[in-house]
Chain A
Amino acid sequence: MTVAPLIEVKNIKKYFPYKKGLFGKKGFVKAVDGVSFSVNKGETFGLVGESGCGKSTTGRMIMNLLEPTEGAIIFEGHDLGSLNENEVRDLRKDFQMIFQDPYASLNPRMRVKEIIAEPLVIHGLLNGKQREKRVHELLEVVGLSSYHGERYPHEFSGGQRQRIGIARALAVNPKLIIADEPVSALDVSIQSQILNLLQDLQEEFGLTYVFIAHDLSVVEHISSRIGVMYLGRMVELADKDSLYEEPLHPYTQSLISAVPIPNPRIKRERIVLQGDIPSPSNPPSGCTFHTRCPFVTDLCKSQIPAFKETRPGHFTACHLYND
């Protein structure tokens, strides 16, 4: 692939400082500890991992809601960290976010049409009649009706609210949409509707998604490439098919083995991990996964495995695949 990626994330880190007690020790929660990936135009990049692994923090850093402690985010050749506030605001038009909780992400005191028009107002796009027309258009694009614009968010169901959130994200014709667990707060039946809507919109408007989720079957459905995160680090990155057919990292293997198969008669072997996810304020030495890994070696405990291409297009951070 010779196409330049739409967005490139280079070794970003986010450490949250904390202090225990008045005179207690200070330290850092290493929420994200050196994550790199790039997303090409028109693809859906899935980011999976269990809660607390730093996937949402990564999304927030891309959105510039959090400033990375280290590392760079490059969007269409612009390094976000080097731009000033106004330049970032201009770039914001090109990337938007869909939030996990559709009940909390809409201001309950605003009418739906005001909510959807807000990005247009902020960026000074369109005016008066045109703006209203655009809002009606957006409402219909996401499967609502134009008269819904007069209502308030509390008059809608969760799925409908998520549609409103999607309409708001689409308002300024973005190139990239970060979807932070957009369906995990919804009923299963509604989940598929929203996922299909997202896919239709992608085709129609040529959108690029970074899709953050913890549900592997959801990610499999929508993504073209998938990155698996564990405790602030990327452990495996591959296109969907090779990841699901041949997961290399033991963590990915166990995740995939845990996806339910809708047939009770199929006997399968699940890899059940022992123990809990360690605290990101005091991560294990070496490979952060070594405390729970079934194939742990002495090397794992002392040395952090490099994140490298083990198969063509398939990256893993695991000592098992060293030659």
Chain B
Amino acid sequence: MVQANLAHQPKDKTELARPQPVQVKARTPLSEFWRKFKKQKMALVAGSFVLALMLIALVGPYIAPYSSKEFDYESILAGPSLHHWMGTDAYGRDIFSRVLEGTRISLFVGLFSVLFGALGGTILGIIAGFYGKWIDSVIMRICDVLFAFPGILLAIGIIAILGPGLSNVIIAVSIFSVPIFARIVRSSTLSVKATLYVEATKSLGAKNSRLIWKHIFPGTVSSIIVYFTMRIGTSILTAASLSFLGLGAQPPTPEWGAMLSSGRDYLNTAPHVVFYPGMAIFVTVLAFNLLGDGLRDALDPKIKD
């Protein structure tokens, strides 16, 4: 403190007389967010893990010690060793390499299914919340119908119509993410719409398009970000479940759920075949959820420090 005061001593007296514009670092919403976010150690760890996962998704196949399609009949169902860190599966494929490669698939499915779901849900939610009346009732009743199905059942139904495959998994998971985003965005739209600053902007003569883009949408972004992160975890889990059931990625694709599925026959004799892909799913979903929690706390203006 003393040093800081000394450092700000004016050099001469003329400087004292004039009021100086104080050079405080602007407290932008972003800097405010970062200040709160970095206090949460758990979320920081989860965040770095997610970043690492993304890196693996990008470079995974290049750094993997073996190819995911490389059969090694010499070592079938071998336990973890120096050569095969996570052991090998029933065809002698290196599980570590397959888990690395599966990262790309899982993150891709998780990210894109939530992206489409969030996009659709946000548009519907803003329309429902902003315009209200019958359009609100129609959108929200459709969402209620979708909510009534258990997520995985809905996804299975959609896959049954579209046929199995990874891209159809993305479509299925997107569709059941839509009502969740629609509901969340609608409720924040309603609360932002009721604020005085929206009324003030209306009194300036702003058109609806401006109100939505400049005031309503920015007001809902923080809740979208939080749910976006959390839903990625859930979507990865759902996609893996669908693959496990044989509706998503088909073997020999190194998808985590598909790996679990093909490894379950050897659960007693070679548990490592299901353990490592299972752990990968578990840790990834956990990381996204913890990150989401941290983001929520950092973005919620009501939680002060």
Which residues of A have CB within 8 Å of B219? 109
Report if B28 contacts A (CB, 8 A): yes
Report if B195 contacts A (CB, 8 A): yes
Report if B10 contacts A (CB, 8 A): no
Please encode chain B, from 196 to 209, with 1 for each CB lying within 8 Å of some chain A CB and 0 for all others: 11011111111100
CB closest residue in chain A, given B205: A92
Q: Is the pair B27, A154 in contact by a Cβ cutoff of 8 Å?
A: yes
Which residues in window 162-202 of B have CB below 8 A to A? 195-197, 199-202
Q: Is the pair A122, B21 in contact by a Cβ cutoff of 8 Å?
A: no
Report if B84 contacts A (CB, 8 A): no
Report if A297 contacts B (CB, 8 A): no
Which residues in window 142-187 of A have CB below 8 A to B? 145, 147, 150-152, 154-155, 165, 168
Q: Name the distance in Å between B201's Cβ and chain A's nearest Cβ.
A: 7
Q: Is the pair A97, B28 in contact by a Cβ cutoff of 8 Å?
A: no
Q: How large is the interface on B (under 10, 10 to 19, 20 to 34, 35 or more residues)?
A: 20 to 34
Report if A101 contacts B (CB, 8 A): yes
Q: Name the distance in Å between B220's Cβ and chain A's nearest Cβ.
A: 11
A147→B20 CA distance, assembly (Å): 11
A28→B41 CA distance, assembly (Å): 55
Which residues in window 80-108 of A have CB below 8 A to B? 88-89, 92-93, 96-97, 99, 101, 104-108
Report if B210 contacts A (CB, 8 A): yes
A73→B126 CA distance, assembly (Å): 33
Majority DSSP secondary structure for residues of A touching B: loop
Report if B29 contacts A (CB, 8 A): yes
Q: Is the pair A152, B29 in contact by a Cβ cutoff of 8 Å?
A: yes
Q: Is the pair B200, A99 in contact by a Cβ cutoff of 8 Å?
A: yes
Which residues of B have CB within 8 Å of A152? 26-29
Report if A63 contacts B (CB, 8 A): yes
Instruction: Select which of A101, A106, A119, A151 is within 8 A of B204 by beta carbon.
Output: A119
Report if A65 contacts B (CB, 8 A): yes
Which residues in window 208-224 of B have CB below 8 A to A? 210, 214-215, 218-219
Q: Is the pair A107, B26 in contact by a Cβ cutoff of 8 Å?
A: no
Q: Name the distance in Å between B305's Cβ and chain A's nearest Cβ.
A: 14
CB closest residue in chain A, given B204: A119
Q: Is the pair B205, A147 in contact by a Cβ cutoff of 8 Å?
A: no
Report if A118 contacts B (CB, 8 A): yes
Which residues in window 246-293 of B have CB below 8 A to A? none
Report if A221 contacts B (CB, 8 A): no
Q: Is the pair A118, B204 in contact by a Cβ cutoff of 8 Å?
A: yes
A65→B205 CA distance, assembly (Å): 10
Report if A133 contacts B (CB, 8 A): no
Please encode chain B, from 13 to 37, with 1 for each CB lying within 8 Å of some chain A CB and 0 for all others: 0000000010000111100000000
A105→B201 CA distance, assembly (Å): 9
A232→B204 CA distance, assembly (Å): 26
A112→B214 CA distance, assembly (Å): 14
CB closest residue in chain A, given B24: A155
Which residues of B have CB within 8 Å of A97? 200, 203
Report if A311 contacts B (CB, 8 A): no
CB closest residue in chain A, given B196: A104
Q: Name the distance in Å between B115's Cβ and chain A's nearest Cβ.
A: 23
A168→B204 CA distance, assembly (Å): 9
Q: Is the pair B197, A105 in contact by a Cβ cutoff of 8 Å?
A: yes
Q: Is the pair A89, B203 in contact by a Cβ cutoff of 8 Å?
A: no
Q: Name the distance in Å between B293's Cβ and chain A's nearest Cβ.
A: 23
Q: Name the distance in Å between B52's Cβ and chain A's nearest Cβ.
A: 31
A165→B201 CA distance, assembly (Å): 11
Which residues of B have CB within 8 Å of A108? 29, 197, 301
Which residues of A have CB within 8 Å of B201? 107, 118
Q: Is the pair B203, A104 in contact by a Cβ cutoff of 8 Å?
A: no
Instruction: Select which of B21, B197, B210 is within 8 A of A104 by beta carbon.
Output: B197
Q: Is the pair B215, A107 in contact by a Cβ cutoff of 8 Å?
A: yes
Q: Name the distance in Å between B97's Cβ and chain A's nearest Cβ.
A: 46
Q: Is the pair B199, A65 in contact by a Cβ cutoff of 8 Å?
A: yes
Q: Is the pair B205, A151 in contact by a Cβ cutoff of 8 Å?
A: no
Which residues of B have CB within 8 Å of A64? 203
Which residues of B have CB within 8 Å of A270? none
Q: Name the distance in Å between A118's Cβ and chain B's nearest Cβ.
A: 6
Q: Is the pair B29, A104 in contact by a Cβ cutoff of 8 Å?
A: no
Instruction: Enumerate chain B interface residues (CB-CB to A < 8 A).
Output: 21, 26-29, 195-197, 199-207, 210, 214-215, 218-219, 301
**Given pairs A88-B205, A155-B27, 10 additional interface contacts (CB within 8 A):** A65-B203, A92-B205, A99-B199, A104-B196, A105-B197, A107-B201, A118-B214, A119-B205, A123-B205, A151-B26
6 contacts between A and B (CB under 8 A): A104-B196, A106-B200, A107-B215, A108-B301, A109-B218, A168-B204
Instruction: Enumerate chain A interface residues (CB-CB to B < 8 A).
Output: 63-65, 88-89, 92-93, 96-97, 99, 101, 104-110, 118-119, 122-123, 145, 147, 150-152, 154-155, 165, 168
